[in-house]
Chains A and B, each alone.
Chain A
Amino acid sequence: MSQAGATGEAGSGLTAAWQPLAGLRIWLTMLTICIEERLVYRGDFILGTLMRFLPIVTQIFLWTAVFAATSRPDIAGYSRNDIVAYYLLTMVTRAFSSMPGLSSGIARSIRDGSVKKYLVQPVDYVSFLLAARVAHKLVYYLIAIFPFGLVFFLCRSYFPPLPDAATILAFLASLLMSFLLGFFMEAALGMLGFWFLEVSSLMFAYMLVQYLLSGHMFPLDMLAGIPTGIAGVSLAEVVRWLPFHYTAYFPAAVWLGKIHGPERTAALFAEAAWVIVMIVVCRLAWWRGTRRWSAFGG
């Protein structure tokens, strides 16, 4: 519930029109509905979550085979166990940062005009979406904790010993921020619908970039040897300057101790900066978008 409080505050802080108490009541109703929905299809859900680990299983076998064929003890600083742990941890980060249906939902509501009701009702659209998403995610974790727990228990031997408290705190902070970053990036993307009629291609491009550069496919440290054409700058460094790696790679790397010390602190601040930038971008897009939209008469 502490998580809920934190994000709930963030949501209501964004708008003056949203009265905290009424807002909380709406949010609680939303939460209850989410829980009921999930429970009706819980069989599907637990099975679905477990199946989501299957691609990782193939990835793990692939890297095991790679390690079998090469004489190196590690690849880009990752032992085989590290790689297994890395993939499992990205599942956790993706559970926080991925926002299925968010940008397409926003774009659709702009296209079919249903966004109109948020212009007349005393509810801020983005805050409403954020609250709904928080509710959804909370319920998701409530049930997903069982399949996740099972998989992590079975795979416990791949993990290094439990890191120190500072690392765990940094990990949690990076997870929470990855949720916010994922949310506001996707929301901003959806709002491109104010300017472009057909946004599915943009969304696809985003998805590709996100999939590749977030570290979902492989630990981004592996890009360290790939030159970019700029002298002395590797692809890994470029990727580290972009926001995408916070949504999968970064929390996992923090937990595994691949990033630590001052570097870690700096990266956390950079992540926070990205969150703020994305909130501002989102606000601006909403503000300019709705103005443009009402000027065209919807």
Chain B
Amino acid sequence: MSAAKDPVIRVAGLAKDYRVFDKPEGLLASIRGIFHRSSRVVEALRGVDLEVGRGEFVALLGPNGAGKTTFLKLLSGIITPSRGTAHVLGHVPWERADDFRRRFALVMGQRNQLWWDLPAAESFRLHQEIYRIDPARFARTRDELVDMLGVRKLILQPVRELSLGERMKLELVAALLHEPEVLFLDEPTIGLDVVAQHTIHEFLRHVQRERQVTVILTTHYMKDVAALCERVVVITHGDILYDGSLVEIVDRFTTHKIVTLDLDDAAAARHLERLGYPCEIRGPQAILRIDRARIADVLPEVLRGGGVRDVSVEDVPLEEIVAELFRSAPARPTAASPATAEATP
């Protein structure tokens, strides 16, 4: 796996516990709460091991509350872990060395980092000063990024007047102005329309290839993953459940293929139903889920009945595979031993 290449991110046994106080519900319980506040420890991350090589584009997937964002926050040094080690670009993130912070960027889709009432150009200038970017270089990078996303005209408009998609594009420009070597993206496409998503995909792909940026992306949109990432890391309940290529996920976790038939008439539909495969008929279309191993046997049998105008065979949608994967993860209520989270297959 990629771990052999010069690792930019190296994580071992990384764990983060939170102590949460129970908010009592109900009147009596809250009165009791005056005298006694109960708390418990929540393990957001339970000893994660991971290595990421330079120039990799890794998708971090997992249901809400699985620990993705905690993981990104640890890697960017926002929070300090309870146990374990991490090195990003040779630095321990939570020491927050300026030298380290100048070399990466974090973009959070749900949070606005640009000045709300001012044009983005002003925020960019501030970035230049904070990151000490050489003026000539700053102008060049800015123009390049702005043109790539087609937002040159927007940078002189107050940010509050822009649409969500436009703002996100400008956020990305701001994050890349100092030419970071590592980029953490936390749900960058959340709430965006299809066109904006597509533009951002193109842009990220381009930037990553051109500059060999190492990117870790969390998202709930499988489109992002399919468009951008070769490597997928699935986190559930604070553990890494899967780490491998996207192609492999499909291979390993799908047992079925989806066969879609365009039918001529009701007779053809009746014939299909008689065959007894799991089948759903929607008007002139029939959708079958067929065991992958048996597809070569089943397909001729289905077609032999006649009355089929068109046929397509597809993999189960990625969303479904991933959802299944999330569900399959056993919840572990007890403290985890770090050794069980084996990162590389």
Q: Is there any pair of Cβ atoms, one from A and one from B, under 8 angstroms apart in the complex?
A: yes
Taking Cβ atoms with an 8 Å cutoff, the residues of A that contact B are: 32, 35-36, 39-40, 42
Q: A39-B33, A40-B24 are in contact. List 9 more A-B contacts (CB 8 A).
A: A35-B27, A35-B30, A36-B25, A36-B26, A36-B30, A39-B30, A40-B23, A40-B33, A42-B34
| Distance between Cα atoms of A227 and B74 in the complex (Å) | 68
Q: What are the 5 A-B residue pairs with the smallest beta carbon separation, nearest first?
A: A39-B30, A36-B30, A32-B27, A35-B27, A36-B27
What are 17 A-B interface contacts by the 8 Å CB criterion? A32-B27, A35-B27, A35-B30, A36-B25, A36-B26, A36-B27, A36-B30, A39-B27, A39-B30, A39-B31, A39-B33, A39-B34, A40-B23, A40-B24, A40-B30, A40-B33, A42-B34
* A252 CA / B27 CA spacing, docked (Å): 35
Chain B residues in 8 Å Cβ range of A32: 27
Instruction: Report how far A36 CA is from B23 CA in the complex, Å.
Output: 10
B contact patch SS: helix
Residues of B within 8 A of A42 (CB): 34
Kindly provide the distance from the CB of B30 to the nearest chain A CB, expressed in whole angstroms: 4
**Taking the nearest CB of chain B, how far is it from the CB of A181, in angstroms?**
32
Residues of A within 8 Å of B25, CB to CB, are 36
The smallest beta-carbon distance between A147 and chain B, in angstroms, is: 15
Query: Which residues in window 27-81 of B have CB below 8 A to A?
Result: 27, 30-31, 33-34
Q: In the complex, what distance in Å separates the CA atom of A32 from the CA atom of B27? A: 7
User: A36 to chain B: which residues have CB within 8 Å?
Assistant: 25-27, 30
Q: Which residues of A contact B23 (CB under 8 A)?
A: 40
Closest chain A CB from B99 CB (angstroms): 41
Q: How far is the CA of A35 from the CA of B24 in the complex (A)?
A: 13
B interface residue count range (under 10 / 10 to 19 / 20 to 34 / 35 or more): under 10
Secondary structure call for the A interface: helix
A73 to chain B, nearest CB (A): 47
Q: Which residues of A contact B27 (CB under 8 A)?
A: 32, 35-36, 39
- Expressed in whole angstroms, the Cα–Cα distance for A73 and B30 within the complex equals 51
Residue of A nearest to B26 (CB): A36
Question: How long is the Cα–Cα vector from A36 to B31 in the complex, in angstroms?
Answer: 8
Q: How far is the CA of A39 from the CA of B25 in the complex (A)?
A: 11
Q: Report the separation of the CA atoms of residues A39 and B27 in the bound assembly, to the nearest whole angstrom.
A: 9
**Which residue of chain B has the shortest Cβ distance to A37 in the bound complex?**
B30
Per the bound structure, the CA–CA distance linking A138 and B211 in Å amounts to 64
Bound Cα distance A36, B28 (Å): 9
Query: Complex Cα distance A140/B233, Å?
Result: 51
List residues of chain B with CB within 8 A of the CB of A40. 23-24, 30, 33
Distance of A35 Cα from B31 Cα, bound (Å): 9
A42 to B34, CA, bound (A): 8
Inter-chain contacts of A39 with B (CB < 8 A): 27, 30-31, 33-34
A224 → chain B, closest Cβ, in Å?
Answer: 48
Residue of B nearest to A35 (CB): B27
Mark B147-175 against chain A: 1 for CB-CB distance below 8 A, else 0.
00000000000000000000000000000
CA distance A42 to B33 in the complex (A): 10
Chain A nearest Cβ from B25, distance in angstroms: 8
B245 to chain A, nearest CB (A): 48
- Residues of chain B within 8 A of A35, CB atoms compared: 27, 30
What is the CA–CA distance of A36 and B29 in the complex, to the nearest angstrom?
9
Rounded to whole angstroms, the CA-CA distance of A229 and B30 in the bound complex is 58
* Chain A hits for B33, CB < 8 A: 39-40
Shortest distance from the beta carbon of A36 to any chain B beta carbon, whole Å? 5
A199–B34 alpha-carbon span in the complex (Å): 40
Contact with A along B11-27 (1 / 0, CB 8 A): 00000000000011111
- Interchain nearest-CB distance for B28 vs A (Å): 10
User: In the assembly, what is the distance between CA of A32 and CA of B26, in Å?
Assistant: 9
Residue of B whose beta carbon sits closest to that of A32: B27
Residues of chain A within 8 A of B26, CB atoms compared? 36
CA of A36 to CA of B26, assembled, Å: 7
Interface of chain B residues 79 through 117 with chain A (CB within 8 A): none
| Closest A residue by C-beta to B30 | A39
Q: How far is the CA of A40 from the CA of B21 in the complex (A)?
A: 11
CA distance A40 to B25 in the complex (A): 10
Distance between Cα atoms of A40 and B23 in the complex (Å):
7
Shortest beta-carbon distance from B290 to chain A in Å: 52
Q: Which residues of A contact B34 (CB under 8 A)?
A: 39, 42
Within the complex, the shortest CB–CB distance from A28 to chain B, in Å, comes to 11
Q: How far is the CA of A40 from the CA of B29 in the complex (A)?
A: 10
CA distance A291 to B30 in the complex (A): 44
Task: Name which residue of chain B comes closest to A36, CB basis.
Answer: B30
Bound CA–CA A36/B25 (angstroms): 8
Kindly provide the distance from the CB of A148 to the nearest chain B CB, expressed in whole angstroms.
18
- Of all chain B residues, which has the CB nearest A39? B30
Q: How far is the CB of A143 from chain B (nearest CB, A)?
A: 10
Nearest to A31 among chain B residues (CB) is B27
Query: Nearest-CB distance from A282 to chain B (Å)?
Result: 33
Cα distance, A32 to B31, chains bound together (Å): 12
**CA–CA, A58 and B305, complex, Å:** 96
